[in-house]
Amino acid sequence: MKRFLCCLLIFCFAGPTIAQKARLHSFDLGDTCFLLDGKPFQIISAEIHYPRVPRQAWRQRMQMAKAMGINTIGTYVFWNLQEPEKDKFDFTENNDIAAFVRTAREEGLWVILRPSPYVCAEWEFGGYPYWLQNQKGLVVRSKESQYLNEYKKYIQRLGKELSPYLINNGGNIIMVQVENEYGSYGNDKEYLEINRKMFVDAGLNGILYTCDPARDVAKGQLPGMFAAVNGVNNAATLKTLTRKYNNGKGPFFVAEWYPAWFDWWGEKHHTVPPARYVRELDNMLGAGVSINMYMFHGGTTRGFMNGANCYDSSYYQPQISSYDYDAPLDEAGNATDKFMQFRSVIQKYAGHTLPDVPSPKKSIVIPPITFSSSTDIFSILPRPVVSAKPLSFEKLKQAYGYVLYRTKVTNGKSGMLSIKELRDYGIVFINGKKQGTLNRMIKQDSLYVELGNGVHIIDILVENMGRVNYGPNLLKNEKGITEKVTLNGKELTNWQMFSLPMTSLDKLSFTKKPSKDIPVLRKASFSLTETGDTYLDMRSWGKGAVWINGKSLGRYWEIGPQQTIYVPAEWLIKGVNQVVVFELQRTDETVLKTVEKPVLDQLKN
């Protein structure tokens, strides 16, 4: 009973303790609770992913976390951001994970670091960089030597960035997660031990732990390392599981406590009423359980970094750009009703008065924007790569975006044009005229085309809609036309491939009038006298992507459920701003509107 009551105490620290004093803290595993400087400490952690929030807004999101009673920030580290190309590392701007950790320290928050390197996270390829697939025989999440070699180089580099911030080195990182729900994927203990040793050798030592769903802890746990559990809402169940895998002891920690869920294209928006989890949160905290709330704040998956569900070969479900997650803090960083109800629960156990909740951020509506500059996709094609057979994105050394595949047919017969293993969405053109679309989501890989005498140019614009981020299909993640194209059963050869990664739009010319039904890029300028958050209303558009002032906002698609795109105030300026839209389907649309609130729950057939 004495130990139980001990764990109900929450040791909190003021910002200056860690931000201004250069003294070492200690963090340890007690028999029933965590120990911070030798005193009981209950982790109430908020998962926030640094790339899903503009760098300029990190501090605001952390201050909101403190207002809800949070004392720790959890985050993954994303390998495909930190090493986008082999041996080329990037820790700048929004990829500056060390700056994220320092910001948490300045705000008086501890950090749980999750550098796996596999993250899942509804993120492209589960966080793995695409180029791993170009090394023949490389197998992720295994003891295969090529994988371990690349993994080691990455972890060593990451250690240089982050090891100074471990609590045992005077920083605010209190725990480091090794692998990520590995028990849901495999059960190779030797592989897990290799992971552990790599972390230690890279300086990412201190308290290391694993996390797995309850059913998979036995496979994902490494003897001698603290085993945490994901997705448990019952304190008694959690304590039984924790003791089972930790030599009869605690601490008791739900490494991923889910207050909501994520969305994918074509599926109803997921919401979880606050009342469903208020009682569970109260019970868990009241029983001395520590939690990491996944997600406290989801933010936005910008660029082309969304992942996809594909647990078997029968379906493919790419995730939407909004990672609102129905989390306590919404996509724009404002408190929700769920936030306020959770805050009331946490206040009971905080041991101090929580900070006031900041007012909602200002939201603005921009007058309708009319596009006057445009160009179609055929007008911006770069020099092609030539090959007898179509090449995947990986073989073209292209990570994301689009590739236009082109071949010629002379005196061809009308019939079925088929793509074997299309990844993931294609638009077919004959002699520059649109014929139709192909879509992996609905297993549509064939299209009837009309040909005849003479030479016919066949173009297929293919979009990578996100590599699978979970399950056995991690090893089947090539993009583009990954096998072959046939016409009436006969394979087509002699291809040109035009890479369109859409990573930079600065050098594009927008002076040409686009052709009808051809995917179009439209550019416009608009002026602001004040800035604020806003949402682009894409309900009159079809499918594509948007950039504001050169920064990617993510994708849109009329099928929903997401119908708006969040524009953070931090990326707008007083004066002239620029917006670019790449539209695949409704190519005659020329007006863009905004709204004050997001629309994340509208499906279209």
**Is 589 among the catalytic positions?**
no
Burial 245-278 (b: 16+ CB within 10 A, else e): bbeeebbbbbbbbbbbebbbbbeebbeeebeebb
**For residues 306 and 302, what is the distance between their CA atoms, to the nearest angstrom?**
8
- To which H or E segment does residue 206 belong? none
Reduced to 3 states, what is the DSSP secondary structure of residue 346?
A: helix
Nearest Cα residue to 46 out of 127, 122, 110, 108:
110
CB atoms within 10 A of CB 125: 26
**Is 181 among the catalytic positions?**
yes
3-state helix, strand, coil in the chain (%, to 5): 25, 30, 45
Distance, first Cα to last Cα, the chain: 58
- Determine which one of 83, 124, 161, 181 is catalytic: 181
Nearest Cα residue to 10 out of 296, 290, 259, 356:
290
Nearest Cα residue to 540 out of 552, 526, 522:
522
208 strand-pairing partners: 176
Inter-residue contact 26 to 13 (CB < 8 Å): no
Q: Is the peptide bond before 117 cis (omega within 30 degrees of 0)?
A: yes
**For residues 195 and 209, what is the distance between their CA atoms, to the nearest angstrom?**
11
Give the CA count within 13 Å in the CB-facing half-sphere of 96.
12
Nearest Cα residue to 378 out of 484, 517, 486, 519:
519
| Cα-based distances in Å from 150 to 140, 141, 142, 161, 406 | 10, 12, 12, 17, 34
Reduced to 3 states, what is the DSSP secondary structure of residue 313?
A: coil
112 strand-pairing partners: 74, 175
**For residues 154 and 529, what is the distance between their CA atoms, to the nearest angstrom?**
44
Q: What Rg do the C-alpha atoms of the chain give, in angstroms?
A: 25
- Determine which one of 256, 331, 478, 558 is catalytic: 256
Alpha helices in 38-188 (DSSP H): 58-67, 79-82, 97-106, 145-162
Give catalytic residues, as residue numbers.
Answer: 181, 256
